[in-house]
Amino acid sequence: MANLNEFLAFSPEVAAARQAGLPLVALESTVISHGMPWPDNLATAQTLEAAVRDQGAVPATIAVIDGKVRIGLSPGELERLARGEEPVQKLSRRDLAIRLCLGGLGATTVAATMVAARAAGIQVFATGGIGGVHRGAQQSFDISADLSELARTPVAVVCAGAKSILDLPLTLEVLETLGVPVLGYATARFPAFYSRDSGLPVDARVDSPSAIAHVCRTHWGLGLQSGVLVTHPVPAELALDPAVAEAAIAQALGEALDQGIRGKDTTPFLLARVKALTGGESLKTNVALIQNNARLAAQVAVALAASAGR
C-alpha cells in the first residue's frame, strides 16, 4: 500500500533544515496558481518566502509536481506554477492521489497543504484565509474541506480569519463543533480577511508567538489531534473598509449565481471579481495580510523549535 511519505520530495534547503532541526513554515501554492494574477503571484510567493527567512525560519512552499509532493520549491518550480502556461489543478485532500498518479501540476489548498505538512513533520503553516461555510450552504451544502482538515490534522494554521466571501458565523460554529481552537493574535475578535474585525469573538486572545506555541504544545500534548487556528488581522492601514468589501462581495456572489459558478471554481471567481470591483485594492490587502501571516508563522515556528530543545 502506498504511503504519502514515499511521494515526498524535499528541496535542498528544506532537507538541510530538517537535518539541522531548524524551524520550518509550510506555505500553500494555490495562492500562486489560483489566488493572484501573473506576475503578482510570483512576486508574492517570493516575498512570502523572504518574510519567513527574515524571521529565522525556513519556508517550505508545497505543490504536487510531476508525481511528487514537493516540500520546498525551486525558483523555476515557483515560476512554472505562476505563469499559467500549463494546467494547474487545485488540490484538496481528495485530489492528492489522483494528481500524483496522473502527473502534471497541482497547487495545494489549505487542506492539502496541511496533509503534506504533517507528513513532512512541519508544525506551522501560513496562509491568507481559510475556506469555510459558504453563504447559502443550507441549500448548497458547500462547506470547505479546510474545516474537516483542521479537525483531524495537528498543524498550527496562521491566517487572517476565513475569507470574507463566506458565512463567518456558521464557519465559527462548525469550527467549534469540530473541536478546533481559534486564537486571536493581539485581538479578541475574529478577523474578516479584508477587514480587521468581523464582530465575532475568538476563543482566546494571545499576545506573543511564545504564547501561541505554548497553546499548541499543550493542545497536542493532551492527545488532541486537531489543528490550532491562529487568526491575525491585516494591518490597519491596508485593511479594506468593511462596507466597501461587503458591497463588492455581494455583487460578486450575485454574478456567480447568475453564471452558475459553484464548487472549487467559486472562490477564485469571487476573489477575481472583488479585485475588479474594488479597483485592485483587495489584491493589495490580500498580499499584505498573507505577508503579515508568514512573518507571524515564522515567529511561532521559532518559538516551537526553541521549546522543543528545552
Phi, psi (degrees; rounded to nearest 5) at 280: 90, -5
From first to last of the 310 residues of the chain, give the pLDDT tens digit. Answer: 568 999 999 999 999 999 999 999 999 999 999 888 899 999 999 999 999 999 999 999 999 999 999 999 999 999 999 999 999 999 999 999 999 999 999 999 999 999 999 999 999 999 999 999 988 888 888 899 999 999 999 999 999 999 888 999 999 999 999 999 999 999 999 999 999 999 999 999 999 999 999 999 999 999 999 999 999 999 999 999 888 988 988 898 889 889 988 777 787 788 788 888 988 898 899 999 999 999 999 999 999 999 875 5
Taking the C-alpha atoms of residue 83 and residue 287, their distance in angstroms, rounded to an integer, is: 18
Structure confidence at residue 293 (pLDDT): 98
Position 42: which residue type? L
Structure confidence at residue 97 (pLDDT): 96
For the chain, the structural domain boundaries read 4-308
The verdict on whether 163 is a catalytic residue reads yes
- Active-site choice (28, 77, 149, 281): 28
- Active-site choice (13, 90, 149, 163): 163
4-308: CATH number: 3.40.1790.10
Which long-range contacts (C-beta less than 8 Å, at least 24 apart) are formed by 220-224?
220/154, 224/154, 224/179
Pick from 77, 68, 198, 92: nearest CA to 142: 92
The verdict on whether 275 is a catalytic residue reads no
